[in-house]
């Protein structure tokens, strides 16, 4: 656990640095990220992922990461989840938990997402993923939703483990 916390702290430090490096430029929000920053953050081992999973609040601690990864396959055409990953049709999702919607650097969001005032957590994400257009009418995320509740639990657990979420 101690090692995991250190790894995560290092990850955050790396992200912080790369974000600083980028903020000097005046790159336009619509520029496709043709040269994504290399993923400098250390990969979590399978054991570290299982430790992080077990530390999630119920029901996410029972999430099936393999199924979550399978469900995420439908998101992959539009989203990257690695640190510094490209914005594609949708924004890079690394570090999304605990930040406000519409704040992934360099991505041009719809007005409704930019105007949202909550922070992304499992509860909001569950509603968003069930039906983005019902949850936030006007979003440009053209995705019908993940209808199965257990698939959403597994997907959210997978996203928490893969996007640098830190347990409290
Ligand atoms: C067809 C492309 C597409 C697919 C498929 C898709 N998304 Fe998106 N996603 C988008 C777009 C576009 C946005 C930006 C929405 C806006 O600005 O209105 C977005 C936004 C998001 C956000 C908000 C991010 C932020 O920074 O606030 C999350 C979270 C998200 N998507 C998760 C997912 C997940 C998980 C899946 C798979 C179940 C998925 N998306 C499937 C295109 C897609």
Domains of the chain plus CATH, in order, are 2-24+34-162 (1.10.760.10)
Predicted confidence pLDDT, tens digits, the chain (168 residues): 455 544 444 444 444 444 444 444 344 444 455 545 444 566 889 999 999 999 999 999 999 999 999 999 999 999 999 999 999 999 999 999 999 999 999 999 999 999 999 999 999 999 999 999 999 999 999 999 999 999 999 999 999 999 999 876
Of 71, 44, 86, nearest to 129 by C-alpha is 71
90, 113, 127, 137 from 133: Cα distances, Å: 15, 11, 10, 5
Q: Which of 69, 78, 158 to mutate to test the pocket of ligand 1 (most atoms within 8 A of CB)?
A: 78
Name the residue with the closest Cα to ligand 1, atom 1: 142
Structure tokens that stand for 63 in this block? 């999430």
Taking CB atoms and a 6 Å cutoff, what residues make up the pocket around ligand 1? Answer: 74-75, 77-79, 89-91, 93, 96, 101-102, 104, 109-110, 113, 129, 139-143, 146
| Radius of gyration for the alpha carbons in the chain, expressed in angstroms and rounded | 16
Q: Which of 74, 79, 97, 139 to mutate to test the pocket of ligand 1 (most atoms within 8 A of CB)?
A: 79
What is the SS3 assignment for 46?
helix
Model-wide pTM > 0.85:
no
Report whether 129 contacts 146 (CB < 8 A).
yes
- Between CA 10 and CA 145 the distance in angstroms is 34
């Amino acid at each position: 656990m101690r090692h995991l916390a250190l790894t995560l702290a290092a990850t955050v430090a790396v992200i912080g640095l790369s974000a600083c490096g980028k903020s000097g430029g005046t790159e336009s929000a619509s520029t496709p990220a043709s040269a994504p920053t290399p993923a400098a953050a250390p990969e979590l081992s399978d054991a570290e992922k299982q430790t992080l999973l077990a530390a999630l609040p119920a029901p996410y601690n029972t999430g099936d990461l393999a199924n979550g990864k399978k469900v995420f396959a439908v998101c992959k055409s539009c989203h990257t989840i690695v640190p510094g990953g490209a914005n594609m049709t949708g924004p890079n999702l690394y570090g999304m938990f605990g930040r406000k919607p519409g704040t992934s650097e360099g991505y041009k969001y719809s007005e409704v997402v930019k105007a949202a005032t909550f922070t992304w957590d499992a509860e909001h994400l569950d509603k968003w993923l069930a039906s983005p257009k019902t949850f936030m009418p006007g979003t440009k995320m053209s995705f019908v939703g993940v209808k199965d509740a257990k698939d959403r639990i597994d997907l959210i657990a997978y996203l928490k483990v893969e996007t640098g979420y830190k347990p409290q």
